[in-house]
A = this chain, B = another copy of it.
Amino acid sequence: MATMKDIALRTGVSVATVSNVLNGKPGAASDSKAQEIFTIAQELHYHPNSFAKNLKLRRSNSIGIITEDLTVFNTPEIVDGIESYCEEHGYEIIVDNMRLFKRYRNDFTDTPQHSRYFENALSTLVSKQVEGIVYVGYHCREISFLPTFGDIPFVYAYCFPKGGGFSSVYPDDENAGYHVGQTLIRCGHRKIGVIVGPVTSIHAQSRLCGFQRALLENQILYNPETTFWGDWSRNSSYEIAEKLLSMDITAIFAMNDLMASGVYTYCLEHNIAVGRDISLFGYDNRDIVDLYSPAISSVAPPLHEIGRKSAELVLRQIQSNTLINERFLLPCSVHLRDSVVRI
């Protein structure tokens, strides 16, 4: 690796001059000398040593991202959002992927045993002198992994911290549930079956809550009998579909696309036309919504925006040199497709 010293030697100037020229300081050297320095730098494939530079400057111009698992569908999009915001603001990102899902599948309730991955990630990033950190969860839940020292901006994306001592950014599930309710009601539906997620899920609870609010506002009584608790899986909703479709309902709101697809499959197998005999809403707006015809209506969580907002929060804390502790609920977008009919 060529260094400034090499360039200085070759051009007969001091490292200081090389540094000044390469960093574009005006009037650091005569035009011809400057030109020569650039040429030699090129020739030698000079690349500044970021370790030396950052050490000297005592700042990294970077923020860290701790992901629970990069291979879970929501995570790359959130990271992308963080990245796009940082790029616009001259910051770099350093990703530390804990690979929790890969290692433990869904079984990683935040036990001390698992938390060493968090501690490692945190140490690594702090050692790399990141000026702030975004923690990207793979689903909305309370995270007990907390930074062990309080002096670095820390933001939770798509999840929230236990105790609430830090900022967090996540989708506004309640309002999304409300909008799904409103949309279905506006299409004339009054008797709507619901396939919720597990009772333990705040996601699911919030969506249900918003959905009930929409019913109430329209003087429609919520019917617990047509509400079933699934486990996010296709299988669970397939079974529930059988029960629901024997009841007196005109629409089904399944709280993720996977469960919506389970309903869809049931309908296909029983000659029930989705988008005619029954209306269907999913959630997450994953690529699978387009795989059926008619396509499944769904709710898109603002993943990219969650990333951007988290980054904004971190950078704001860095720039203002104050810690912020707020929760941000970002609006989801409702995508109405032909799986829903007006009746």
Contact = CB atoms under 8 A, between A and B. Distances in A.
Given A71-B77, A123-B47, A83 B97 contact: yes
A2 to B, nearest CB: 10
A261 B79 CA distance: 29
A99 interface: yes
Interface stretch (A13-21, A189-197, A206-214, A287-295): A287-295
Contacts of A102: 80, 84
A23 interface: no
A124 interface: yes
A92 to B, nearest CB: 7
A70 interface: yes
Interface stretch (A48-56, A308-316, A319-327): A48-56
A268 interface: yes
Contact of A94 (B1, B51, B94, B148): B94
A203 interface: no
B51 A80 contact: no
B148 A45 contact: yes
Interface of A: 1, 45, 47-55, 60, 70-71, 75-77, 79-80, 83-84, 92, 94-95, 97, 99, 102, 123-124, 126-129, 148-149, 234, 261, 264-265, 268-269, 287-288, 290-293
Contact of A80 (B84, B97, B126): B97
Nearest to A287: B288
B288 A49 contact: no
Contact of A55 (B51, B123, B261, B293): B51
Contacts of A128: 50-51
B76 A80 contact: no
A288 to B, nearest CB: 6
Nearest to A292: B265
A239 to B, nearest CB: 13
A83 B98 CA distance: 10
A124 B95 CA distance: 15
B291 A127 contact: no
A94 B50 CA distance: 13
Contacts of A51: 50-52, 54-55, 60, 128-129
* 3 closest cross-chain pairs (CB), A and B: A51-B55, A50-B127, A45-B149
Contacts of A293: 265, 268-269
Nearest to A271: B271
A233 B155 CA distance: 38
Contacts of A71: 76-77, 80
22 contacts: A45-B148, A47-B123, A48-B127, A50-B51, A50-B128, A50-B129, A51-B51, A51-B52, A51-B54, A51-B60, A51-B129, A52-B55, A53-B127, A71-B76, A71-B80, A80-B99, A80-B102, A83-B97, A264-B291, A265-B291, A265-B293, A288-B291
A290 B238 CA distance: 13
